Amino acid sequence: MCTSSPPKFFALLNDSMDAAAFKVYVSKCLVPQLWKGAVVIMDNLPAHKVKAIAPLIEAVGAKILYLSPYSRPV
């Protein structure tokens, strides 16, 4: 999250990020900090694409922008 104020949340996971952990982060930490018109930029991690994530973010009037898939330069 880009902000001019100090970050409000840090977490360490002992395992890789999965959909369940990401959903908890989004619902408990990210969504309460969002506002109508905010833009959440996410990459293509499978946990970011779980169907339950977008409705949580969009319910507060924020939008989601997914980055293009990575392709190696040729």
Q: Specify the residue for token string 């996410």.
A: 42
In a domain? residue 47: yes
In a domain? residue 27: no
Question: What's the mean per-residue pLDDT of the chain?
Answer: 86
Can you give the residue range of the structural domain that contains 41?
Answer: 36-74
Give residue-wise pLDDT tens across range 3-39: 556 666 667 778 888 999 999 999 998 999 899 999 9
Residue-wise burial string across 39-63, b where 16 or more C-beta atoms lie within 10 A, e elsewhere: ebebeeeebbeeeebbeebeeeebe
In a domain? residue 26: no
Give me the number of domains the chain comprises.
1
In a domain? residue 16: no
pTM value is 0.77
